[in-house]
Amino acid sequence: MHNTVEICKDLHYVGGNDRRIALFESAFPVPRGVSYNSYLLLDEKTVLFDTVDIAASEVFFENVEHVLGGRKLDYLVIHHMEPDHSASFVRLMEKYPEVTVITNQKVKTMLANFFHFEGENVHVVKEGDTVSVGKHTLQFVFAPMVHWPEVMFTYIPEDGILFSADAFGTFGALAGSIFADEVNFERDFLDDARRYYFNIVGKYGVQVQNVIKKAAGLKINLVCPLHGPVWRKNFAWYLNKYDIWSKYQPEEEGVAVFYSSVYGHTQNAAEILAAAIAKNGVTNVKVYDVSVTHVSELLAEAFRYSHVVFATTTYNNGIFISMEHFLYDLKAHAYQNRKYALVENGSWAPQAGGYMQAIIGEWKNMQEVGETVTLLSAVKEETLERLEALGKEIAEDIKNKKE
Ligand code: FEO
């Protein structure tokens, strides 16, 4: 049965949720599910903005049919070709063969590549082009690499509506309300939004900054992303998060201590260091075992804080597997602009610190606090003192920054 929401006069939500999906993009756990948003505008012409993943296609087609109320579908605007939004395209074209697709040349090429679609009924637009559909004008704003190269937004100047593709989306299914101002977004979505941002588009901060600059010139009343809540109030707060994230600035002054430990001694060192940081007045300290926390969460937390600690044992004459994976994931997402400290352990040849330094040395604007603390198998009195001194140094660095 259909389940739609009227967003404002003439505009309807026709998307759906998926709470069975285990891994979004086969990579990211989504224990709170995910929504695939689609929107339908009723004007002199009817306009559908994107389709949905196969998982939500049944309710999506019922929604579209219900909102159309017997009218024909005139236009489908495709903003992004990733299959979580385009997978229902072929069935849509079978059901509404008279529809004209409005999109850009890159999407048109991908329609052929994904679906062997070579249809004539594609209206190709360029940046800034407009299409009038009655009382509303569709204006196209290109947003390459947010999150694929073909991505574009649609802006409706008459009502200040921005269809923002993946940008401003989040993991987490919609629960009843579709509006950000009707949920506790900071409590229920912000962690997922941060994890979504850094894992999906974190690598493309420059491109996100370009889009933010374009958006700054638009009067925006309503933001309709492809995942998560619709924004009609207080969007500036969320836009500011995107601004901070895409400039690779820390969102919070604080420390995330990441450790990998085979038999618990490196964990012991990490916990002693975290306690020393806290004892010296820092209230924002997190500790993560990288072997049991999903790397997508580790990545988001590393970007969140101003200071990070990497503590690991030496393994196979290198860095322990889960820590090495995490560090390369940070590198792949252009991690930069943070203070860091290192702890290494090794029972006969502690070398992980040097290997970590070599990886971190390739990142932009990383500054080490203190010196690497080396453990030989377990924490001793001397290493305890060095960990406590390092904790004090990190805490003072944070306090000096705040003052
Ligand atoms: Fe939600 Fe890039 O797809």
232 and 265 both lie in a single domain: no
First to last CA, the chain: 58
Task: Kindly give the distance from the C-alpha atom of residue 201 to the centroid of ligand 1, in angstroms, as a whole number.
Answer: 10
Task: Kindly give the distance from the C-alpha atom of residue 397 to the centroid of ligand 1, in angstroms, as a whole number.
Answer: 39
Residue 232: φ, ψ to 5°: -130, -10
Rounded to whole angstroms, the Cα distance separating 237 from 256 reads: 24
Task: Kindly give the distance from the C-alpha atom of residue 291 to the centroid of ligand 1, in angstroms, as a whole number.
Answer: 28
184 and 289 both lie in a single domain: no
For ligand 1, what atom is nearest to the CA of residue 169? 1
Rounded to whole angstroms, the Cα distance separating 7 from 122 reads: 27
- The pLDDT value recorded for residue 215 is 87
199 and 331 both lie in a single domain: no
Rounded to whole angstroms, the Cα distance separating 107 from 237 reads: 31
- The pLDDT value recorded for residue 50 is 98
78 and 133 both lie in a single domain: yes
For ligand 1, what atom is nearest to the CA of residue 165? 1
238 and 126 both lie in a single domain: yes
The domain boundary residue, chosen from 224, 246, 268? 246
Closest C-alpha to 168, from 244, 86, 247, 230: 230
**Count of structural domains within the chain:** 2
Task: Kindly give the distance from the C-alpha atom of residue 85 to the centroid of ligand 1, in angstroms, as a whole number.
Answer: 7
For ligand 1, what atom is nearest to the CA of residue 25? 3
Q: How many CA atoms lie within 13 A of 44 on its CB side?
A: 8
Q: In this structure, what CATH number is given to the domain that contains residue 300?
A: 3.40.50.360
227 and 266 both lie in a single domain: no
For ligand 1, what atom is nearest to the CA of residue 151? 2
Lining residues, ligand 1, CB within 6 Å: 80, 82, 84-85, 147, 166, 226-227
E strands, 281-381, in order = 285-289, 305-315, 318-319, 339-345, 367-368, 373-375
Task: Kindly give the distance from the C-alpha atom of residue 4 to the centroid of ligand 1, in angstroms, as a whole number.
Answer: 22
Which residues constitute the domain of residue 265? 252-402
For ligand 1, what atom is nearest to the CA of residue 166? 1
Task: Kindly give the distance from the C-alpha atom of residue 29 to the centroid of ligand 1, in angstroms, as a whole number.
Answer: 15
Task: Kindly give the distance from the C-alpha atom of residue 147 to the centroid of ligand 1, in angstroms, as a whole number.
Answer: 7
- The pLDDT value recorded for residue 401 is 77
Query: Under a CB-based contact definition with an 8 Å cutoff, are residues 257 and 307 in contact?
Result: no
Q: Are strands 339-345 and 305-315 parallel, antiparallel or unpaired?
A: parallel
196 and 339 both lie in a single domain: no
For ligand 1, what atom is nearest to the CA of residue 227? 1
- The pLDDT value recorded for residue 88 is 98
For ligand 1, what atom is nearest to the CA of residue 147? 2
136 and 192 both lie in a single domain: yes
Query: Under a CB-based contact definition with an 8 Å cutoff, are residues 36 and 173 in contact?
Result: no
- The pLDDT value recorded for residue 147 is 86
Task: Kindly give the distance from the C-alpha atom of residue 58 to the centroid of ligand 1, in angstroms, as a whole number.
Answer: 19
| Residue pLDDT tens, the chain, 403 long | 999 999 999 999 999 999 999 999 999 999 999 999 999 999 999 999 999 999 999 999 999 999 999 999 999 999 999 999 999 999 999 999 999 999 999 999 999 999 999 888 999 999 999 999 999 999 999 999 998 999 999 999 999 999 999 999 999 999 999 999 999 999 999 999 999 999 999 999 999 999 999 988 899 999 999 999 999 999 999 999 999 999 999 999 999 999 999 999 999 999 999 999 999 999 999 999 999 999 999 999 999 999 999 999 999 999 999 999 999 999 999 999 999 999 999 999 999 999 999 999 999 999 999 999 999 999 999 999 999 999 999 999 999 876 6
Question: Which pair of tokens denotes residue 191?
Answer: 């962690």
293 and 193 both lie in a single domain: no
187 and 147 both lie in a single domain: yes
Task: Kindly give the distance from the C-alpha atom of residue 290 to the centroid of ligand 1, in angstroms, as a whole number.
Answer: 26
Residue whose CA is at the smallest distance from ligand 1 atom 3: 82
- The pLDDT value recorded for residue 400 is 86
Q: In this structure, what CATH number is given to the domain that contains residue 150?
A: 3.60.15.10
224 and 352 both lie in a single domain: no
